[in-house]
Amino acid sequence: MKPLSRLLPFLLMSLSLHAAEPDKARQQELIYLLKQDCGSCHGLTLKGGLGPALLPQQLHGKSLDYLTTTILDGHPGTAMPPWRGLMAENEARWLAKALQRGVK
């Protein structure tokens, strides 16, 4: 077996772990972050404020990749900060999906 082929299963496993949904406890932390920190600009009910509304009807037509990138990298020159230092890409993606379906 070639050295690279021996590493392939480990690489695939690490990719799947990286892409996995956050566990239930982390999901609750992310929802809390959304409601408290994001809500300080987007409104505590996410209906808008300094930042735009984050309700499913306002996010319609925005891709999951766009929303994930926005969460992670923010929008330079605006009040939207990057959250990359506080969450992993799979967590931002999970949060974007939660926003698309409506957070309760």
Q: Which domains does the chain have, with CATH numbers?
A: 22-101 (1.10.760.10)
Contact 42, 54 (CB under 8 A): yes
pLDDT for the residue 104: 77
Per-residue pLDDT of the chain (104 residues; tens, 9 = 90+): 455 556 555 555 445 445 689 999 999 999 999 999 999 999 999 999 999 999 999 999 999 999 999 999 999 999 999 999 999 999 999 999 999 999 87
DSSP secondary structure, 45-62, as one string: TSS-SSSPP-SHHHHTT-
CA distance 80 to 45: 17
